[in-house]
């Protein structure tokens, strides 16, 4: 049973299908591990024990009858605390939503439940999901698996910690500027950001609906693919995968600027492994990426403030200062600036698609820096702002340009390698990722 806590979600599902794993005992093993973990309260905002055991009993009955609902039927999952859970509080990491209890599940949770997955509980996050660092003095800051004194990565901080600390085999987070991929990279996990709007965000507390996406943090690409399908995405066949004749572009524009030594070495080592496995890799700039970055401020802050303004007017004094300052910057964004920025961005997306049309995906370090120390970003406002923007830099390329993205661990602690493909190429990216995962192993 102890081995269950470190197995992939796919292997757990196969064990249930073969009659070797009892889903009730599996769920109890995870619930017991959560109860015994010294940092559980910093990882889970709430544990849905009764729901989990009820769902596990139903899974056991289906397994006995041979009527399993899918490959993840009976597999426990943690959910970021911005996905609505019927009858259980969903508070988005902010005191402004304390006591908010929805009456129905978010669409992706409903899909996953219909696929037989088991809801373990709700995980902590950066306040209102508006930081890549994962530090949240309002609710809790989950521990980084590699350094308890360092930031865990956000905003899906508890999601990453729940898998990395063996308190869930699979976690679901959201990604608006990198919030799945950053905690995945800093906690040595796989993180997948699907194309925007491929998975429903209905019933998820929004940050910027034009960029918000739902994605898994997992122990393998196979797990990420299965979670994607369980939440309403397409089923992806990972059989027969190879990097032979695949073409990658190392994005030199912005993404390679001022990368710290450890992420840089890890990235170059990963690139060598991919090339050895048959990938064709070239380097080059894509100038429109830099132009897209200039549009971040009006697009992100303007849209975030449009949703959160009523909450801030009522309870803004309850917010962490850094998040308050970031979101209220949207107060001064003019409608003309916002709309013109979107017109420009759509043109840049078309330019980017044309410039990279000959490649299967682009490559870059997932995060250009190692996780900063919590004390340093807590005590120095300027350092917090600079580290947060730098942390989000490479992942945000995918959100701005409408791409799908996948980060893989490089086996250098807290260093990931990221592949990003054009919007709609989710299945192809997952297949490439599974092949790359083998090469990196």
Catalytic residues: 80, 155, 179
Q: How far is CA 13 from CA 18, 340, 355, 369, 424, in A?
A: 9, 48, 41, 35, 28
If one counts every other C-beta atom within 10 angstroms of the C-beta of residue 329, the result is: 16
If one counts every other C-beta atom within 10 angstroms of the C-beta of residue 357, the result is: 8
Find out whether 368 and 260 touch, Cβ atoms under 8 Å: yes
Closest Cα partner for 400 from 250, 226, 253, 259? 253
Signed CA dihedral, 370, 371, 377, 382: sign only: positive
User: Given the structure tokens 């973990």, which residue do they identify?
Assistant: 37
Joined tokens for residue 413: 């602690």
Signed CA dihedral, 164, 167, 172, 175: sign only: negative
- For 140-166, b where at least 16 C-beta lie within 10 A, e where not — what string? bbbbbbbbeebbbbbbbbbbbbbbbbb
């Amino acid at each position: 049973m102890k081995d269950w806590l470190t197995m992939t979600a796919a292997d757990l599902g196969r064990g249930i299908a073969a009659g070797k794993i009892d889903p009730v005992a599996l769920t109890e093993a995870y619930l017991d591990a959560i109860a015994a973990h010294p940092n559980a309260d910093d990882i889970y905002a709430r544990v849905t024990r009764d729901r989990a055991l009820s769902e596990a009993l139903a899974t056991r009955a289906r397994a006995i009858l041979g009527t399993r609902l899918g490959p993840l039927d009976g597999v426990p999952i943690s959910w970021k605390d911005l996905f609505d859970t019927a009858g259980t509080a969903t508070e988005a990491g902010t005191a402004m939503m304390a006591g908010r209890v929805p009456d129905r599940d978010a669409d992706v949770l409903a899909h996953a439940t219909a696929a037989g997955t088991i809801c373990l509980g709700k995980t902590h996050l950066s306040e209102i999901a508006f930081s890549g660092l994962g530090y949240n003095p309002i609710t809790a800051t989950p521990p980084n698996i590699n350094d308890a004194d360092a930031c865990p990565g956000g905003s899906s901080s508890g999601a990453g910690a729940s898998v990395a600390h063996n308190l869930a085999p699979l976690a679901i987070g959201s990604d608006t500027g990198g919030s799945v991929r950053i905690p995945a990279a800093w906690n040595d996990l796989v993180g997948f950001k699907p194309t925007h709007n491929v998975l429903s965000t209905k019933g998820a507390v929004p940050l910027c609906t034009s960029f918000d996406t739902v994605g898994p943090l997992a122990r393998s690409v196979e797990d990420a693919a299965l979670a994607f399908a369980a939440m309403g995405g397409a089923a992806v066949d990972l059989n027969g995968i190879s990097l032979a004749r695949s073409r990658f572009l190392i994005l030199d524009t912005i993404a390679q600027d001022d990368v710290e030594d450890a992420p840089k070495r890890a990235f170059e080592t990963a690139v060598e492994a991919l090339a050895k496995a048959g990938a064709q890799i070239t380097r080059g700039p894509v100038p429109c990426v830099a132009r897209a970055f200039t549009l971040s401020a009006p697009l992100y802050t303007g849209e975030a403030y449009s949703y959160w303004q009523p909450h801030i007017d009522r309870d803004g004094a309850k917010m962490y200062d850094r998040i308050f300052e970031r979101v209220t910057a949207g107060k001064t964004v003019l409608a003309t600036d916002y709309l013109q920025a979107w017109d420009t961005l759509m043109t840049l997306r078309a330019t980017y698609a044309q410039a990279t049309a000959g490649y299967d995906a682009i490559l870059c370090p997932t995060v250009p820096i190692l996780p900063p120390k919590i004390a340093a970003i807590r005590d120095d406002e300027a350092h917090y702002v600079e580290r947060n923007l730098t942390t989000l830099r490479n992942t945000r390329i995918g959100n701005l340009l409408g791409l799908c993205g996948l980060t893989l661990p490089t086996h250098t602690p807290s260093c990931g390698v990221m592949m990003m493909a054009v919007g709609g190429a989710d299945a192809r990216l997952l297949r490439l990722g599974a092949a790359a995962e083998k090469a990196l192993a």
